[in-house]
Amino acid sequence: MSKTHNKWTSEEIQTLLQYLPIFGIKFKLYTTVISRPESQIKSFYYNNLQRIRASEQRDAEAQENRLISGSLVELMRLAVVDIQE
């Protein structure tokens, strides 16, 4: 946001629209963004960013759970081999 005033400049909006798809945020029409108040755009961006971070957290937890369960399966397999010998 430009420091000289409290409105988004066209250049800032263009830049914002250029990078938002990286975060999985897509807008239907360029004009809908321009017509929205700045607070709504910031709120929309913040909410989507929070959703993305929560999704990444769930993915990390799922990865950790897979590693733990894989380790447990390996330990049980080794225990069964020890019992059979």
Summarised one tens digit per residue, pLDDT across range 28-73 is: 544 455 556 667 777 778 888 888 888 899 988 998 888 888 888 8
Tokens of 3: 């420091």
Domain that holds residue 20: 10-84
- The set of residues, in sequence order, having a beta carbon less than 8 Å from that of 23 and lying 6+ positions away, is 48, 49, 52
Confidence (pLDDT) at 10: 75
- The owner of tokens 């369960």 is 69
The pLDDT of residue 1 is 46
- Amino acid 29: pLDDT: 45
Q: Say what the pLDDT of residue 68 is.
A: 86
The structure tokens listed for 18 are 């250029």
Q: What is the pTM of this model?
A: 0.40
Of 34, 47, 44, give the one whose Cα is nearest residue 7. 34
Task: Report if residue 2 sits inside a domain.
Answer: no
Q: Is residue 19 part of a domain?
A: yes
Number of domains the chain contains: 1
Q: For residue 7, is pLDDT > 80?
A: no
